[in-house]
């Protein structure tokens, strides 16, 4: 079962601060989305509205065609995992898992057990006694084992060490392939996780900057590598996102796809054309100096 998410002229204000500014967005069900944005861009606000954690100021958000706020049949299908975990912190981990099992209609006890073992989460300890990394692992476990048709992870893996994060990515992908659902990953660790994304959504200042497939987004730029002088000549006049030089060799990241003729010229000049890191494109697209996407 998969559910789509649609934001229609969505606005969310916190007092005088506008977190989401007339956002329009449609996310098809059954895909893994990367929700990217700088701090304060509206990622968490969007996730909170999708999970019915709060009500929009105006506009509408729907999950599977229904506004989720106070819609019992929909909210049970949505699982938003935040870094804090949203659990009873004085409870033991085993109680937290029992509580989730009792309220999540698609809960997989077997999956929860596998993840507890993989992340070595001590089930007898209280949540307050867990390290930040272990709390993140607990959040990941709750999110994956919930098997909710819409599962959102909001910066949940930031506290994990590198091996645990890669274990999370692996487990997420395996679980998604076995049980397709709508997964939204909000993260700052873009390069690390970008291979998981099927589609990328970039928010900035509460609005939508970009929503397209991860492959299409990568084709928005190119990394040109070769002798420094040749690279400079080739990229002259192009919009440069980044430049790295090692000895006589340079790699310049440019924004905008290269056509067949440009690629032929580059090859004949002995230059290599490679994909652009998603993170570089993200930085460029959310550059405060930049006026339009």
Partner 1 sequence: MTAARPGTATPATGLATRFALASAGFWVIVVAAFIVIASIVLSVADEPSSVWQGARWIPQYFVLFLGTMLSARFLPVYIAHGVTRRRFDAAAFAVVLGTAVGYAAIMQIGFLVERLVFRWSGGTQFPDGVDLVAGPAAVVGHGAEFALLYLAYLVTGWAIVTGYRRYGGLVGTVLLVPLLMLPFYAESVQWRTGLLAPVAGETGVRVENLIVLAGVLATALFIHRSGRNLPVPPGPAGRP
Question: Which one of the spans 93-101, 162-170, 176-184, 267-275 is the region binding partner 1 (CB under 8 A)?
Answer: 93-101
Nearer to partner 1, 11 or 173 (CB): 11
Residue 126: CB minimum distance to partner 1, A: 10
Question: Which one of the spans 23-31, 96-104, 201-209, 235-243 is the region binding partner 1 (CB under 8 A)?
Answer: 96-104
85 is an interface residue for partner 1 by CB under 8 A: yes
Q: Are strands 17-27 and 272-275 parallel, antiparallel or unpaired?
A: unpaired
Nearer to partner 1, 41 or 77 (CB): 77
Looking only at residues 39 through 78 of this chain, which bind partner 1 when binding is defined by CB under 8 A?
44, 48, 51-55, 70-72, 75-78
Q: 173-210: buried (b, 16+ CB within 10 Å) or exposed (e) per residue? A: eebbeeeebbbbbbbebbeebbebbebbbbbbbbbbbb
Nearer to partner 1, 123 or 251 (CB): 123
260 is an interface residue for partner 1 by CB under 8 A: no
CB-based contact 60:209 (threshold 8 Å): no
Q: In the block, which residue shows the tokens 């056509």?
A: 259
169 is an interface residue for partner 1 by CB under 8 A: no
Beta strands in the chain (DSSP E): 5-14, 17-27, 32-37, 58-63, 78-82, 150-154, 182-186, 199-204, 207-213, 221-227, 239-246, 249-255, 272-275
CB-based contact 20:12 (threshold 8 Å): yes
The span from the CA of 101 to the CA of 93, in Å, is: 12
Question: Which one of the spans 30-38, 100-108, 239-247, 264-272 is the region binding partner 1 (CB under 8 A)?
Answer: 100-108
Which two tokens mark 5?
């998410």
List 104, 157, 165, 220, residue binding partner 1 (CB under 8 A): 104
List 22, 106, 205, 257, residue binding partner 1 (CB under 8 A): 106
Contact footprint for partner 1 (CB under 8 A) = 44, 48, 51-55, 70-72, 75-80, 82-90, 94, 97-109, 112-113, 123, 128, 148
């Amino acid at each position: 079962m998969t559910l789509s998410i649609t934001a229609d002229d969505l606005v969310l204000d916190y007092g005088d601060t506008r977190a989401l500014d007339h956002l329009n967005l449609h996310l098809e069900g059954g895909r893994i989305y990367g929700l990217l944005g700088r701090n304060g861009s509206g990622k968490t606000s969007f996730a909170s509205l999708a999970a019915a954690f709060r009500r929009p100021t105006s506009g509408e958000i729907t999950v599977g065609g229904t506004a989720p706020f106070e819609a019992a049949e929909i909210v049970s299908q949505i699982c938003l995992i935040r870094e804090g975990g949203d659990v009873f912190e004085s409870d033991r981990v085993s109680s937290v898992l029992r509580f989730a099992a009792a309220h999540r209609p698609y809960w997989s006890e077997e999956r929860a057990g596998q993840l507890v073992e993989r992340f070595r989460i001590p089930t007898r300890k209280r949540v307050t006694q867990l390290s930040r990394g272990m709390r993140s692992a607990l959040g990941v476990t709750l999110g994956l084992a919930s098997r909710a048709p819409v599962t959102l992870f909001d910066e949940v893996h930031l506290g994990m060490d590198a091996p645990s994060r890669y274990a999370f990515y692996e487990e997420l992908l395996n679980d998604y392939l076995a049980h397709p659902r709508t997964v939204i990953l909000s993260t700052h660790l873009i390069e690390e996780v970008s291979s998981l994304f099927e589609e990328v959504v970039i928010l900035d200042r509460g609005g939508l900057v970009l929503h397209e497939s991860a492959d299409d987004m990568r084709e928005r730029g190119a990394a040109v590598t070769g002798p420094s002088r040749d690279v400079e000549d080739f990229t002259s006049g192009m919009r440069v996102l980044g430049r790295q030089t090692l000895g006589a060799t340079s790699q310049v990241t440019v924004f905008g796809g290269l056509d067949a003729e440009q690629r032929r010229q580059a090859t004949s000049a002995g230059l290599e054309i490679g994909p652009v890191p998603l993170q570089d494109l993200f930085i460029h697209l959310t550059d405060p100096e930049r006026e339009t996407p």
